């Protein structure tokens, strides 16, 4: 039985539901070629940061320490300045080279928080040949007088500004920390987003008590982390006409299968590629085909979303009632 792994993401037809997430690997033309040969459906290039655009090399040192506490794909992976193309012009050149090197969609990534002049690079990314743009937004509110509604409005204004600048598909990569995520997601759609990436994985600061300094450490994702995007993709899929990408903790074909079942259009992997290399995509896809055969599916479209919040036999499994039951049973089993 032939298995059709093609899928639709942001209006683009991909060869498979595995997308290489923004990470150092996707900044290499050789790695992009190997990812495509292995069967990856698309690749997201490493992010171009607002700070890089506005301050370029002058701010690079500060970005390294700032990003290590904020962006899982950022400064902890940055090589020395002499070896790294830090400027926006080099990034645009990378898009052009990647577009010539592979046939799979190349998704540019723009990482920022303010509605400023740096947004103009979204249009330049499109002109350089990007198939789509992933807007990676993270703003850490530390002021007690900043209301959540104001924070969300900042996101909407930023997405709207980028949407007005480009005609290619636009996805927004967000974190999970919003009081009403479904309503916030709808606002992003209304602002012009064509897709959502759930979720951004932020590094958290640690404290080295021996040296008495803040010492953020990079920890690659664990499989248990898929449960958070799994819940929210299941809830959002039947409510929003938008592409949904699952991100964080995806290490096996079983993880991919689960996320597609609840409604993900694609799954994004970075830590798995860092651990095993680009060629590991071959194993993931082979294992995914086996899973589909075992369950009698011929294509991804045949089952995608069949276990979302609307279609599952037990919608409460994604809600509070299941939390209470699971927690109670866990405690009782160990008395």
- pLDDT tens-digit map of 296-327: 999 999 999 999 999 987 777 777 656 666 66
What percent of the chain has pLDDT above 90? 67
Mean pLDDT for the stretch of residues 218-228: 79
Alpha carbon distance 180, 184 (integer Å): 6
Q: Hey, how many other C-beta atoms are within 10 angstroms of the C-beta on 31?
A: 18
> What is 7-333's CATH number, 3.20.20.70, 3.90.660.10, 3.40.50.300, 1.20.1050.10?
3.20.20.70
What count of other Cβ atoms lies within 10 Å of the Cβ of residue 80? 8
Judge contact between 36 and 105, C-beta under 8 A: no
Of 1 and 183, more confident: 183
Q: Which residue has the tokens 């506005």?
A: 54
Distance CA 145, CA 293 (A): 55
For residues 21 and 257, give the distance between their C-alpha atoms in angstroms, rounded to a whole number.
18
Residues 6 or more apart in contact with residue 307 via CB below 8 angstroms: 234, 261, 262, 263
Domain boundaries, the chain: 7-333
Sequence-separated (6 or more) residues with CB below 8 Å from residue 287: 252, 253, 254
CB atoms within 10 A of CB 280: 17
| Separation between Cα atoms, residue 260 and residue 237, nearest integer Å | 11
Within 185-324, strands assigned E span: 195-198, 207-208, 213-214, 243-247, 266-269
Residue 69 is encoded by which pair of tokens? 């506490």
Q: In the predicted model, is pLDDT for residue 330 greater than 90?
A: no
What's CA 309's distance to the chain center, in Å? 21
Strands (E), 93-151: 106-112, 132-137
Q: What is the DSSP string of 84-97?
A: S--SHHHHHHHHHH
Backbone angles phi, psi at 266, to 5 degrees: -145, 165
The percent of the chain in helix, strand and coil, each rounded to the nearest 5, is 50, 15, 35
Predicted pLDDT at 48: 92
* 81-90, 151-160, 256-265: range with lowest mean pLDDT: 81-90
- Check whether 76 has a pLDDT greater than 50: no
Model pTM? 0.87
* pLDDT beyond 60 at 190: yes
The C-alpha torsion from 51 through 54 and 58 to 64, rounded to 10°, is 10
From CA 168, how far away is CA 131, in angstroms rounded? 7
């Amino acid at each position: 039985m032939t298995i059709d792994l093609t899928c639709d993401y942001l209006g683009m037809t991909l060869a498979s539901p595995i997308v290489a997430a923004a990470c150092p690997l996707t900044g290499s033309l050789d790695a992009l070629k190997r990812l495509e040969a292995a069967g990856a459906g698309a690749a997201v290039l490493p992010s171009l940061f607002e700070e890089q655009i506005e301050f370029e090399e002058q701010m690079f040192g500060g970005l390294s320490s700032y990003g290590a506490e904020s962006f899982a794909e950022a400064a902890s992976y940055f090589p020395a300045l002499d070896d790294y193309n830090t400027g926006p012009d080099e990034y645009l050149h990378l898009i052009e080279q990647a577009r010539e090197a592979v046939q799979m969609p190349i998704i540019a990534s723009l990482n920022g928080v303010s509605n400023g002049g740096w947004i103009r690079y979204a249009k330049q990314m499109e002109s350089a040949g990007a198939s789509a743009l992933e807007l990676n937004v993270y703003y850490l509110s530390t002021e007690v007088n900043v209301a959540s509604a104001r924070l969300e409005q900042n996101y909407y204004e930023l997405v709207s500004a980028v949407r007005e600048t480009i005609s290619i598909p636009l996805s927004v990569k967000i974190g999970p920390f919003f009081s009403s995520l479904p309503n916030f997601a709808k606002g992003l759609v209304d602002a012009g987003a064509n897709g959502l990436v759930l979720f951004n994985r932020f590094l958290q600061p640690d404290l080295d008590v021996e040296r008495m300094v803040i010492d953020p450490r990079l920890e690659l994702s664990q499989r248990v982390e898929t449960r958070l995007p799994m819940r929210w993709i299941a809830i959002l899929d039947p409510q929003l006409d938008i592409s949904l990408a699952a991100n964080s903790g995806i290490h096996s074909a079983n993880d991919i299968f689960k996320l597609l079942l609840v409604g993900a259009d694609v799954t994004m992997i970075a830590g798995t590629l860092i651990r095993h290399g680009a060629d590991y995509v071959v194993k993931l896809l082979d294992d995914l085909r086996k899973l589909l055969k075992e369950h009698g599916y011929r294509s991804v479209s045949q089952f995608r979303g069949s276990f979302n919040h609307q279609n599952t036999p037990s919608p409460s499994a994604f809600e509070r009632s299941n939390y209470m039951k699971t927690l109670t049973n866990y405690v009782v089993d160990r008395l």
